[in-house]
Structure 1
């Protein structure tokens, strides 16, 4: 297996995940800033590996598999840390919406790949907007949320509240983009379902022995 530069950047992003967890829980006043920096570096590698892959045609099957995995792991871990540091019902709800959507869309893409319709659920513009809003929200919240601290009262920490509202917006955009992918894939899913039913009916008809 040949490791391209984009793949190495993706692997570096995965390595940053345990670093983010350790830094988040360090008992120092600067850990919130350090957590935000680690997450920002991960986000930069996400943009950079895609740019290098497109600019220099440096693609690989392993990199194509690993890149979305690294993205989802980083986002999920950041959300878990934020919810643990700021355990409110709404924060947990938005985090559950985002993680649940990622699982559902990943399953949908896997299904579509199995039936040869992977391009039907390719990344759309609304998905890219959601990603930008989500990354900014997580960056703000990682900077503002400290484990064991109480929620900042309005208008306490403006960065926290910006991140809080942007996370809600990201969750709503997540639902919107997820619905977009499902609607795009629905005709192919129904066609495959009909094909499966017709095949099962034909097999059942063949298996029934003729009457004498």
Structure 2
């Protein structure tokens, strides 16, 4: 167990704390939930940076990091779907969650074929993740109807479009292997 893996585990521990903060009946609970989500987003970047910098990448970390990321994002999106209670937030949220399921399955399948590198994270995925984290942070911090919440929804739509673009890119790269297996 090293520091990058501990940071990843911290993100998983943050998930129930995020849910508790989200539902607390205090004015400060939502900004605090947003801060916790922001801290999780920073640890996402930091654990990868430290693992590379200190040469501490492990198979356990390679497995757990994307799981922690997807769980944190899916839980935040589910909470926001309830909070905003509108198709305008639900649609991009479901696109993002659906894409994560498809790409996780694709990566698993490609890894079984020894071709995991064909679906490695691209620059589009990195930009998508950054925009997604910013959108979720803003949407957790500000109530529906607030101008910044509207900007958060717009940012979430941009992230959802990049989500679809990156999914298309991954599927296109994997298609020759997928089509041979049908």
Q: TM-score, structure 2 length as denominator? A: 0.97
Q: Does 1:161 align with 2:159?
A: no
Q: Which residue of 1 aligns with 2:159?
A: 170
1:15-37 Cα distance to aligned partner (Å, 9 max, x none): 00000000011111111110110
SS in 1 for 2:139: helix
TM-fit CA distance, 1:191: 3.2
Question: Contact (CA 8 Å) 1:16, 1:38: kept in 2 or not?
Answer: yes
Matches within 5 A, 1:100-111: 100-111=98-109
Q: Larger C-alpha radius of gyration, 1 or 2?
A: 1
Question: Contact (CA 8 Å) 1:126, 1:177: kept in 2 or not?
Answer: yes
**Count of aligned positions:** 182
TM-fit CA distance, 1:158: 2.1
CA distance in 2, matches of 1:181, 1:30: 40
Q: Does 1:189 align with 2:146?
A: no
SS in 2 for 1:28: coil
CA distance in 2, matches of 1:5, 1:191: 41
Matches within 5 A, 1:81-100: 81-100=79-98
TM-fit CA distance, 1:114: 1.1
Structure 1: which 4+ aligned runs deviate by more than 3 Å?
A: none
Q: Does 1:4 align with 2:5?
A: no
CA distance in 1, matches of 2:114, 2:62: 17
TM-fit CA distance, 1:116: 1.0
Q: Does 1:66 align with 2:64?
A: yes
SS in 1 for 2:26: coil
Q: Does 1:41 align with 2:39?
A: yes
Q: TM-score, structure 1 length as denominator? A: 0.84
Question: Contact (CA 8 Å) 1:83, 1:95: kept in 2 or not?
Answer: yes
1:44-92 Cα distance to aligned partner (Å, 9 max, x none): 1101100100101001111111000000000000001111111101211
